[in-house]
Amino acid sequence: MLEALRGLATAALLAAATVYFLAWRFGESRRLAHIYSLGFSDPVLSYWSAFLMQIDSKRYIQKQWERVPPGTKWYVLPFGTEEFQALTRASDDIVSSTEAVNEYLHARHTLRNDIIGDGIQVPLINTELTRSLGELVPEVNEEALAALDEMFPLEGNEWKSFLVSPALLQIFAKVANRVLVGLPLCRDASYIKTNVDFAVNVIVMSFVLCATPPPLRDLVDRLVSPIPKKFERIRGYLQPIIDARRAEKEKLGAEYEPHPDMLSWLIDLAEQHGRDDRDIILRMMSTNFGVIHTASMNFQHAFYSLLSMPQYMEELRAEVVQCIDEHGWSKTAVDNMKLMDGFIKESQRLNIIGIIIGNRIATKDCTLAGVFIPKGTMLTANVVEAHNSRDFWGSTVDEFDPYRYIRMEKETGKKLGIVTTSANSLSFGLGRHSCPGRFFAAQELKLLMAHLLLDYEMKFDKKEQSRPKDVWFGMSCMPNPNTRVLLRKRVKAYVPHRRRS
């Protein structure tokens, strides 16, 4: 009898949740009825459109103002430069990027933004990290060499095949954590693996929760999420270091010299704002997620582009050698690698990691570029249109041209490097909420590419030289994870760079 009552109660709860969700979905559809709908606008049939979008999302992005059904919520895409600029100019009290992250990444569950959603760590990235880029080059350079040697072990003059996607993910995690937590933890294989797994878990759980009706998300999160266990594992690594640094500071007093890494900055930040150690660890995990996933995907795209267009390798190598000969391994040398900068940025333009970027949620009813936007609407930028606009890029829009930005800088007198964002270059976002870590990411991307060019010969592990087909999952794109690359040490490798700093 008791089991029957429990079953009845569960069925009633699910039925109530379903009715509530359909009523909410119907209401949202009616509020956005004035905006063109891709696929069905019916609150039930729109799920079929959402399914089709998971299969071929690029086909959907085509109208002036449109709403698309990627999951359980409509996304509204302002199509065109003027419309998107209206979105980025809108104040934070009208459209919120924080609430958008909570929505599309389900960050209250995946990144615990219910605790750390205030973003007080972002100024650290804008100030401390960016200001320290010059001082960090020797450390990033050293870690890049160590990580490449570890992940791509080579002897003699033989070619060796590597599955590069997981290797590059590990390399970026190691290099980033040299700056985030320092030695020796950045070389701890278990710690690095846990952070890489956590980044993957966040992406997977965001998809799972996106497909789950809102009333059931807390339950699904508690039942299936692996993230709480990842937090406990990472806390096991970070807590002893946090305790040791506090003890060292107390012992040395005025003679204490802070460690030049993100963890020390977060410890100081927690003291200033009265936060506990759990807060520090969650912010470190969130930062790790941001720097590992995005940088690795962008680099893989650029790496595959380079392998599919080997005619650019010698020009890029020559530029790296010239910059290092003149400036050593320094920020100045990295900044002067203009062709490499243009190559990576052109790869970002043509090989996107997602169809949308710059997400905002309307926190109140508003009008943008003449279109009424109801409160609660998710607004986002159309990267496909921005990066492939013939009106802006001209007749060569479909061509890969690494010299494009060098020419444009000469013509316009404006800086158009990889870290420069605009309405037609959205890889790092646009406006006040552009990626705060893009300056470090650009330095990291260029340093790793420089070392691969100087120390390795490389080609796809197959006869054809065409770029492997990307893998699309909904509105996200990733370089083909099954691609194998042949590497061998260069016979005429540039040796002095390993000694200079």
Q: Which residues are annotated as a binding site for heme?
A: 435
CB-based burial of residue 413 (10 Å sphere; 0-12 exposed, 13-18 middle, 19+ buried)? exposed
Place of tokens 């500071």: 249
Tell how far CA 397 is from the center of its chain. Answer: 24
In angstroms, the first-to-last Cα distance of the chain is 76
Residue 145 exposure: Cα atoms within 13 Å on the Cβ side: 14
Return the closest-CA partner of residue 164 out of 495, 493, 481.
481
Q: What span, in angstroms and rounded, lies between the C-alpha atoms of 76 and 169?
A: 32
Token pair of 470 as six digits: 């990307």
Q: Cβ(285)–Cβ(235) under 8 Å? A: no
Query: Which of these, 78, 99, 85, lies nearest to 364 by C-alpha position?
Result: 99
As a whole number of angstroms, the distance between CA 240 and CA 242 comes to: 5
Going by the annotation, the residues of the binding site are 435
Count of all residues that appear for the chain in the document: 501
DSSP-derived secondary structure letter, 214? G
- Per DSSP, the chain holds a count of helices (H) and strands (E) of 22, 13
Q: Which residues of 208-217 are buried (b: 16+ CB within 10 A; e: fewer)?
A: bbbbbbebbb
Considering only the C-alpha atoms of the chain, give the largest distance between any 2 of them, rounded to a whole number of Å. 83
CA distances from 213 to 113, 310, 333, 362 (A): 20, 48, 51, 21
Fill in the DSSP letter of residue 492. Answer: T
What does each C-alpha distance from 381 to 70, 385, 423 come to in angstroms? 14, 9, 9
How far apart CA 182 and CA 261 sit, in angstroms, is: 6
Task: Give burial (CB, 10 Å; 0-12/13-18/19+) of 59.
Answer: exposed
Pairwise CA distance, residues 183 & 35, whole Å: 53
User: What is the dihedral sign for C-alpha 181, 419, 382, 57?
Assistant: negative
Residue of 49, 157, 229, 139 lying closest to 487 (CA atoms): 157
The answer to whether 406 and 338 are in contact (CB under 8 A) is: yes
- The percent helix, strand, coil of the chain (3-state, each to 5) is 60, 10, 30
